């Protein structure tokens, strides 16, 4: 009889003193007979995440028709139809904490609190988060259970302005204390699986992180059943494929200074390709239980990213100001961004875990810092609660507030959907104690 493996099993190796480690996905031999819990009796982990994009939406193309399970997406939510059963739109809620363009929406949805003003610049203000962001409340809950307290990545590079950490960073530990996102897939890969050899070791370094633990891989396969051997092969093939895509001349041997394969092409950011790679890497990190709290910032608040695949020739922020109604280019850009969110969610859904998948076992708050990028309104805020929270969330349900409720209800619902039993979310005008019960299973 095969001996069960511990969920924390990691394969480790060395090359010239450089450490490499490969965490494993949830294998059958780590689970109970039904695939619903770990063999040691603990439930499968639930993750909490945030997926963020800047500059809001076009509301007439966003708010679904119908409520409950019978909703129909308009154009800007249509890209999420492929994962519809895991997506719950939340509409009709307002930011209650303040009304200052970008700043109030960003801090309101991420902390439930008013921004902390540091000063002024030009005709606007400089701010930071006054309290911890929602992902760090989740990180507090999960602290000590995984190698990484939290993981933060970005896709479109920072193109914002000098208006404080509110504009530049999504995750915060408190005032002027952000957790910067990693924008380089190669550096993020090194962080997850161990940095390659340093410069004097390059002659030895034509081997990948998988090669470093090859002997342990072979030994491990003798300890697991046939289905787990297939799953291990798939897991290692995914890592190998990512290594190959990331590698340039010797790239797996050093920590690169720039994005490598994801550098701009003719001045254009490779948004779709980079998002796909970051989605795969984050899925691997979650499948290997390297963290249970994460954030993905596709683009920052007030973002100057040029969404060129949508036909944009100017920054998203500037287009929201300048393009005449009905803003067709802004609309196409939002559709493109939602396609990228769909890619991320589908990557999690297509990653099996036990008798379900990573998206089933996640609760993800997806949002932005404005409702309408043209008017800079914070009313009828664009929010999605995605995943099933390991069975705590219904999924596929459109909730529309009948009374212009507080947007803080959505982050609180996402936290409780991840099994994080916080009493309240937010402070003062942003404080709420009730989750959206219609979304809870």
Same domain, 239 and 358: no
Same domain, 322 and 428: yes
Residue 281: give its domain's CATH number. 3.40.720
Tell me whether residue 4 is in a domain: no
pLDDT at 354: 82
Tell me whether residue 373 is in a domain: yes
Same domain, 49 and 156: yes
Tens-digit pLDDT profile for residues 66-111: 999 999 999 999 999 999 999 999 999 999 998 898 999 999 999 9
Same domain, 14 and 28: yes
Same domain, 421 and 394: yes
Same domain, 134 and 200: no
Same domain, 91 and 127: yes
Tell me whether residue 169 is in a domain: yes
Same domain, 202 and 137: no
Tell me whether residue 158 is in a domain: yes
Same domain, 232 and 189: no
Tell me whether residue 299 is in a domain: yes
Contact residues for 430 (Cβ-Cβ < 8 A; gap 6+): 95, 96, 97, 108, 111, 112, 113, 114, 406, 407, 408
Contact residues for 325 (Cβ-Cβ < 8 A; gap 6+): 374
Tens-digit pLDDT profile for residues 209-247: 666 666 677 777 777 777 777 777 777 776 776 666 665
For 376, the domain range is: 44-194+270-439
Helices 226-246 and 271-287, packing angle to 10 deg: 150
Tell me whether residue 276 is in a domain: yes
Same domain, 80 and 200: no
Specify the pTM: 0.82
Q: Which of 204, 224, 254 lies at the terminal end of a domain, its last residue? A: 254
**Total structural domains within the chain:** 2
Tell me whether residue 176 is in a domain: yes
Tell me whether residue 322 is in a domain: yes
Residues of the chain with pLDDT under 50: 1-2, 14-18, 39, 195-206, 248-259
Alpha-carbon torsion (279, 284, 290, 293), positive or negative: positive
Same domain, 239 and 333: no
What token pair was written down for 306?
């040029």
CB contact at 8 A, 107 and 130: yes
pLDDT at 235: 72
Same domain, 61 and 151: yes
């Amino acid at each position: 009889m095969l001996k069960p493996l511990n969920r924390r099993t990691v394969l480790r190796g060395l090359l010239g003193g450089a450490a490499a480690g490969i965490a494993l996905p949830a294998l059958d031999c780590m689970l109970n007979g039904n695939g619903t819990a770990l063999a040691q009796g603990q439930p499968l982990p639930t993750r909490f995440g945030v997926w963020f994009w800047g500059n809001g939406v076009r509301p007439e193309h966003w708010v679904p028709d119908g409520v409950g399970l019978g909703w129909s997406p308009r154009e800007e939510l249509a890209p999420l139809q492929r994962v519809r059963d895991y997506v719950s739109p939340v509409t009709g809620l307002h930011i209650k904490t303040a009304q200052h363009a970008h700043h109030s929406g960003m801090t309101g949805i991420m902390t439930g609190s008013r921004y902390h003003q540091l000063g002024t610049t030009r005709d606007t203000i400089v701010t930071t988060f006054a309290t911890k962001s929602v992902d760090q409340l989740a990180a507090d809950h999960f602290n000590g259970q995984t190698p990484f307290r939290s993981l933060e990545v970005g896709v479109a590079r920072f193109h914002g302005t000098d208006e404080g950490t509110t504009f530049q960073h999504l995750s915060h530990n408190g005032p002027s204390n952000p957790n910067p996102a990693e924008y380089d897939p190669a550096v993020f890969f090194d962080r997850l699986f161990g940095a390659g050899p340093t410069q004097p070791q390059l002659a030895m370094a034509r081997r990948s992180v998988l090669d470093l633990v090859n002997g342990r891989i072979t030994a491990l396969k003798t300890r697991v059943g046939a289905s787990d051997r297939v799953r291990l092969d798939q897991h290692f093939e995914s890592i190998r494929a990512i290594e190959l895509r990331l590698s340039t001349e010797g790239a797996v041997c050093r920590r690169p200074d720039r994005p490598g394969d994801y550098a701009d092409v003719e001045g254009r950011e490779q948004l779709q390709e980079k998002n796909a790679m970051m989605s795969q890497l984050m899925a691997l990190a979650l499948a290997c239980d390297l963290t249970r709290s994460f954030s993905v910032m596709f683009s920052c608040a007030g973002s100057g990213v040029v969404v060129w695949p949508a036909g944009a020739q100017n920054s998203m922020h500037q287009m929201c100001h300048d393009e005449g109604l009905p803003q067709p280019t802004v609309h196409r850009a939002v559709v493109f961004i939602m396609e990228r969110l769909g890619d991320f969610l589908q990557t999690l859904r297509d990653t099996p875990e036990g008798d379900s998948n990573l998206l089933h076992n996640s609760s993800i708050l997806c949002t932005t810092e404005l409702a309408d990028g043209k008017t800079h309104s914070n009313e009828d805020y664009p929010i999605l609660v995605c995943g099933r929270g390991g069975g705590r969330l219904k999924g596929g349900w459109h909730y529309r507030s009948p009374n212009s409720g507080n947007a803080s209800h959505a982050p609180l619902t996402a936290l409780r959907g991840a099994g994080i039993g916080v009493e309240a979310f937010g402070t003062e005008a942003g404080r709420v104690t009730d989750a959206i019960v219609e979304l809870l299973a």
